[in-house]
């Protein structure tokens, strides 16, 4: 029997963030990838909550799904980490185990760097913390889109090209497995929205801006860390990700043979068991 789940929201920094709450027990914060949303993680969260006594909070990260965009007066690439830290204080009693999937792992590391006292441990699943192109630069599109004229033009043009790109991305995420057609169609409808595309680009920009700083400070993390990747990840180099995360103080690394980037969806039972054991030790 699946645990009871409910959808709610919390206002942090004058911004409404939507989340899914599943189960009861030790608080766990789950951060999706880029693009992504809480809805696709509902079955995974229910499986994890059923496996252990966990109270899981799955957020739509800022700008994604039903969460509003964080708009600080002064641009701050750390603002999402601060918002989730406040969520841990208000929803989790001041302490939580944090799961970060794909680029969500980078956000999880940001929280651990800024507020290690709020985290009991980190579970980084198919982490994306090292971009494939070391010379990649932030995109100008999010800032251009804030202009009235260019914003209108981009808002019309970009969704026209989105379906093909989203379909290709989701297909690569699932390789070497095949993504269910219904799942792909749902993701095309969700990720192809202009607001979601802007959030996806802004997330990547923030990562690129903070890359050097986060990589330098990761070595100071002394929390229990578990990182799991698939050997056939088509989105990022699994070995490069695990090697970089390995600079943290205490890290358990696992490579799953013949698995891709969609580990929570294609290898649910295996990931749940790894997380259950690591959370119990954290």
Q: What is the pLDDT of residues 46-100, one digit of tens each?
A: 999 999 889 999 999 999 999 999 988 888 999 999 999 999 999 999 999 999 9
CB neighbour burial string for 20-51, b if at least 16 within 10 angstroms, e if fewer: bbbbeebbbbbbbbbbbbbbbbbebbbbbbeb
The pLDDT score that the predictor gives to residue 150 is 82
Q: Which residue carries 């970089």 as its tokens?
A: 244
Q: pLDDT by residue (tens digit) across 181-237?
A: 999 999 898 898 889 999 999 999 999 999 999 999 999 999 999 999 999 999 999
Domain span at residue 36?
A: 5-134+211-281
Q: pLDDT by residue (tens digit) across 207-222?
A: 999 999 999 999 999 9
If one counts every other C-beta atom within 10 angstroms of the C-beta of residue 95, the result is 13
Tell whether 195 is covered by a domain.
Answer: no
Of the candidates 162, 159, 127, 143, the residue with the CA atom closest to the CA atom of residue 248: 127
Give me the sheet containing 15-23, strands edge to edge.
Answer: 5-12, 15-23, 54-59, 26-31, 96-101, 119-125, 224-230, 250-256
* Mean pLDDT, all residues of the chain: 93
* Helices and strands (H and E) in the chain: how many: 10, 8
Maximal CA-CA distance, the chain: 54
Domain harbouring 18, CATH code: 3.40.50.1820
Count structural domains, the chain. Answer: 1
Tell whether 234 is covered by a domain.
Answer: yes
Give residue 1's pLDDT band: very low, low, confident or very high (50, 70, 90). Answer: low
Tell whether 203 is covered by a domain.
Answer: no
Give residue 138's pLDDT band: very low, low, confident or very high (50, 70, 90). Answer: very high
CA 76 vs. chain centroid, Å, equals 18
CA distance linking residue 135 with residue 98, whole number of Å: 29
């Amino acid at each position: 029997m699946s645990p009871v789940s409910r959808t709610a929201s919390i206002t942090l920094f004058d911004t409404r963030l939507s989340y899914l709450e599943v189960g009861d027990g030790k608080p766990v914060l789950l951060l999706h990838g880029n693009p992504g949303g809480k809805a696709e993680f509902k079955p995974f969260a229910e499986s994890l909550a059923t496996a252990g006594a966990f109270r899981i909070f799955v957020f739509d990260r800022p700008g994604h799904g039903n969460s509003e965009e964080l708009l600080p007066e002064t641009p701050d690439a750390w603002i999402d980490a601060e918002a989730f830290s406040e969520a841990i204080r208000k929803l989790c009693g001041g302490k939580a185990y944090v799961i970060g999937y794909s680029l969500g792992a980078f956000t999880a590391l940001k929280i651990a760097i800024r507020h290690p006292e709020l985290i009991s441990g980190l579970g980084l699943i198919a982490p994306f913390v090292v971009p494939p192109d070391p010379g990649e630069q932030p995109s100008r599109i999010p800032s251009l889109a804030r202009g009235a004229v260019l914003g209108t033009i981009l808002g019309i043009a970009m969704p026209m090209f989105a379906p093909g790109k989203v379909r290709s991305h989701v297909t690569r995420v699932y390789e070497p497995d095949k993504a269910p057609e219904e799942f792909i169609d749902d993701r095309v409808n969700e990720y192809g929205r202009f607001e979601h595309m802007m959030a996806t680009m802004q997330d990547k920009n923030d990562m690129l801006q903070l890359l050097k700083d986060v990589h330098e400070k990761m070595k100071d993390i002394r929390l229990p860390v578990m990182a799991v990747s698939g050997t056939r990840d088509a989105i990022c180099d699994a070995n490069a990700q695990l090697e970089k995360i390995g600079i943290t103080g205490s890290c358990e690394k696992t490579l799953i043979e013949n698995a891709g980037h969609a580990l929570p969806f294609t290898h649910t039972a295996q990931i749940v068991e790894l997380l259950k054991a690591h959370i119990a030790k954290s």
